[in-house]
Structure formats: C-alpha cells, structure tokens
Homo-oligomer: A and B are copies of this chain.
Amino acid sequence: MIANAADNSVMDDWLGRNLRRATSAVFNNFGEEFAQFKIRPALFAVLTLIESHPGSSGARLSELLEIPRANMVLLLRELEQRHLIEREPDPANRRAHIVLLTPQGAALMPKLHAAQARHNEHTERWMTPEERRFLIALLQRIWRRAGEIEPGL
C-alpha cells in the first residue's frame, strides 16, 4: 500500500516500454517547442525534406520519409492550405506534381530550425556527444535490423 508508481521494477527493464516512454517524452517536448508554429513532427519532417529536396513529387517525398503515399497527401494538403508549400503540375510527367516551399514557408524554416535546436538542447543537454552517438547507433541498429531477413544465428 505504501508502494508507489516506481515499484514496477520488472517493466522498467522492458526495452519496448522504455522506448515508447522515451519517444513520448521527446515528442512531448517537441510539441511544446513547436506549439507556437502549430507544427507537428510529421509536418516538420515534410517541410525539412522539401527544403532539402525542392521540386520532388509527392510520391518521392513519401519514399524518402518512408510513409504511405496516402498519408503524404494529407500532410501536403495541410501545408498547402496553410500557404507553406505549393504544388505545380510537372510538365515532364502529367501525373506528378512538383512540390516547393512558398516564400512564406521558406521564411518559416529558420524559425523551425531554431526551435529544433532548442528542443535538442532540452532533450540532449545531459548526454555527452559519445553517449548520443552510441544511442543513435543502437536505435538505428534496432530499426534497420527489423527490415532485414532473419539475421544469421
């Protein structure tokens, strides 16, 4: 009865639970930092991708982000309605659109990158560069392994 929420020591060793809670904590801080811009993680990823790959098609962007095309459509529509991106017909392929940042969108990017820097500072301040590299490397091994055939025993 005196037990508190910290006595579930077994579950605190579960990798999946620790991953989920860490993800939630990081995304919550992202939300606080980006709330003033009404930009969610997925929107920031798409904007950053368009900034570094201007003129890509929606299908190409969905490949790069590794999300279904149908979901990219929703994100691009939202960004277009907010006048942060524009879609032009691609003269070389009349099925496709060319996606670009509007001047408004381009002007917003430096503010978003600054918010990201504050977000990183908040969530990573207590990590050494070595710890961060090690953490990222382990996380990448986890999700990259998942797409592979059964690893050799």
Least Cβ distance of A6 to chain B in Å? 9
Which B residues lie within 8 Å of A49 (CB)? 8, 11
A21 in contact with B64 given A30-B16, A49-B8, A126-B151 (CB within 8 Å): no
Which B residues lie within 8 Å of A2 (CB)? none
- Interface segment, one of A73-81, A82-90, A98-106, A129-137: A129-137
Cβ of A108 under 8 Å from chain B: no
- B141 contacts A126, C-beta separation under 8 Å: yes
A26 in contact with B19 given A125-B151, A142-B123 (CB within 8 Å): yes
**What are 7 A-B pairs at a CB distance below 8 A?**
A4-B63, A5-B64, A18-B136, A26-B142, A126-B145, A131-B138, A134-B134
Of residues 110 to 153 in A, which have CB atoms within 8 Å of B's CB atoms?
120, 123-127, 131-132, 134-136, 138-143, 145-147, 151
- A18 contacts B146, C-beta separation under 8 Å: no
Which B residues lie within 8 Å of A147 (CB)? 25
A21 in contact with B143 given A48-B11, A66-B5 (CB within 8 Å): yes
